[in-house]
Chain A
Amino acid sequence: MAAISREEVAHLARLSRLAVTEEELDTFAGQLDVILQAVAQVGEVAAADIPPTSHSVPLTNVFREDVVTPCLTPEEALSGAPDAEEQRFRVPRILDEDVAS
């Protein structure tokens, strides 16, 4: 049985903000199925009482002195922006037209 369906892959693509093509969906569904079946092996390990490791360095709450250091100017920060206006990143509309008007 397949670990993942074409419909589930389409849903993942939407969640991932990827406007994938129909052809890509066919390819990815098959490939992700192979990968998921392989990585599912982690389920064979009896690990109910084992604490998870998210990170190999046991550091928490790393602080530094609150001193001002040189940083990017607004022009530098915006230098790679696809679109900018009045020292801001300019984005396509977020609200629907009728809500905005």
Chain B
Amino acid sequence: MTDVTAMTATQIAGLVATGAASAVEVTQAHLDRIAAVDGRVNAFLHVDTEGALAAARDVDARRAAGAELGPLAGVPVAVKDVLTTKGVPTTVGSKILEGWRPPYDSTIVQRLRAAGTVMLGKTNMDEFAMGSSTEYSAYGPSRNPWDTDRIPGGSGGGSAAALAAYEAPLAIGSDTGGSIRQPGAVTGTVGAKPTYGGTSRYGLVAFSSSLDTPGPCARTVLDAALLHAAIGGHDPRDSTSIPAPVPDVVAAAKLGATGDLSGVRLGIVTEFGGEGAEPGVTAAFNEAVDTLTKLGAEIVEISCPHFRYALPAYYLIAPSECSSNLARFDGVRFGLRTGDDGNRSLEEVMSLTREAGFGPEVKRRIMLGTYALSSGYYDAYYGQAQKVRTLITRDFTAAFERVDALISPTTPFVAFPLGARTSDPYQMYLADLFTIPSNLYGGPGISVPCGLSEGLPVGLQVMAPTMADDRMYRVAAALESAVGTLTPPTM
């Protein structure tokens, strides 16, 4: 049998379905790969060897019994450590939850189990999903398989690195300002942020509740679509979950793979042109635009005048929500408690616990949000940011009256060296310049590899209207059919 770790999820599911390989063999091959390379990648915070093999044996038993298997049965998946997993450690990349074993599964993980996928373990991330490099993980950074001295993106850098290192064919991420798409771009993999409310937040450790969106990561667009279909859809346990079916993203990916985009209108955002993107990224993007034109798409330029305020608005809204959400880490119900010597008060113990348990970026954002919500500053900061959010939404709505989807580079720069942006937090924030608008609007976005710049991957982002996730899969799959997938150097 050829090396299953090099295969797509679709190929692996085919092997398992026909009996050409057992789910246990597939799982063991990936566990062996993790053992061989993860010392250099640090994609995983926890590998659940026993749980994975048990889940694989279950798939094999059901197949032997003649049960109907789903399209991803027997396929290994790596899960970002932001989602609760019953009995399996969930840290959110933070010391404050070190050793916590949740008593319940998140909805996404329940659906992964129901689909017959095999969870290999939990992946590294910036603490509480705040960051663009995994350097804010309390457990050390993950490394980019393209160059292990460079960042794999963030916050979901562990999931993206696991894909690029062939440790897993599928992974789950969460995207609040670009944490699925930017890691996808810099590791040469595919990452999709579904429509907000299209995937359940039940059991997703909250950072910014009006923005957080779990979603699929994969090495091909079709694999991402299959994973999206498996995890998406209404969940009564998330009150912001949209009570409507997920658009047929799998059919859209297959349609796109034919390489025909005739009749599709794509918009390039004027305001993204002038700022931020380094020359190599712009060059790769422009080449991809030519390719999309050759595939039949009509390209127009569209002005979205308020997009330039998306980054500042985001860095008021997200920290404000985080300062409220992270109040639950008080050393009482779960996680760390420190300084409880029998004499100190609850408030003192709480302050010492949070000081010891949170890292610097989390503290910065909690304080920033506390400031933006303070009496006297609320109107000028948080209130004004919410109004800007309305204007950004109107920009999107107006644009989608003229085009089917918007395209841009996913991130302004290729994977940067470890340490290059940690001393200046705002420089790190710029990584999300092009991804944040979709989060504020709530619409879906996908990053698909579009080429290389100085030997490092560049991603193209497709942004679609809310609940039109299928459109972005069609465009991304068409580009993939022309450009091909990117293969990192052998590890």
Select one of B239, B337, B442 contacting A82, CB under 8 A. Answer: B337
Contacting residues, chain B, for A76 (C-beta < 8 A)? 103-104
B346 engages A94 (CB within 8 Å):
yes
B275 at the interface (CB under 8 A from A): no
Identify whether the interface residues of A are mostly helix, strand, loop, or mixed: loop
- Interface size on B, as a range, is 35 or more
| CB of B3 closer than 8 Å to a CB of A | no
Asked whether A32 lies within 8 Å of B368 as measured between CB atoms, the reply is yes
Task: Give the contacting residue for A12; candidates B334, B347, B370, B385; CB below 8 A.
Answer: B370
In the bound complex, residues from chain A placing their C-beta under 8 Å from that of B236 are 64
Q: B-facing mask of A83-95, CB < 8 A → 1, else 0?
A: 1000001011110
Nearest-CB residue, chain A, relative to B238: A62
B363 CB-CB contact with A under 8 Å: yes
Docked pose: A62 CA to B384 CA in angstroms: 27
Closest to A72 in B: B103
Asked whether, in the complex, the Cβ of A18 is within 8 Å of the Cβ of B346, the reply is: no
| CA distance in complex: A89, B389 (Å) | 40
CB neighbours (8 Å) of B354 from chain A are 16-19
- Of A8, A53, A81, A93, most buried by chain B (CB within 10 Å of CB) is A53
Q: Count contacts on A: residues with CB < 8 A to the other chain.
A: 53
Segment of B44-52, B136-144, B307-315 engaged in the interface with chain A: B307-315
The answer to whether A92 and B346 have CB atoms under 8 Å apart is yes
Q: Is B245 an interface residue (CB 8 A)?
A: no
Q: Which residues of A contact B388 (CB under 8 A)?
A: 42, 45, 47
B197 touches A57 (CB 8 A): yes
Cβ B240 vs Cβ A55 within 8 A: yes
Q: How far does the alpha carbon of A94 sit from the alpha carbon of B236 in the complex, in Å?
A: 37
Interface positions of A (Cβ within 8 A of B): 4, 8-9, 12-20, 24, 27-28, 31-32, 34-36, 38-45, 47, 50-57, 59, 62, 64, 72, 76-77, 79-83, 89, 91-94
Given A16-B354, A40-B381, 16 additional A-B pairs, CB 8 A: A13-B367, A17-B330, A34-B424, A40-B312, A42-B381, A42-B384, A45-B387, A52-B386, A56-B197, A57-B242, A57-B442, A76-B103, A80-B102, A80-B334, A81-B333, A92-B349
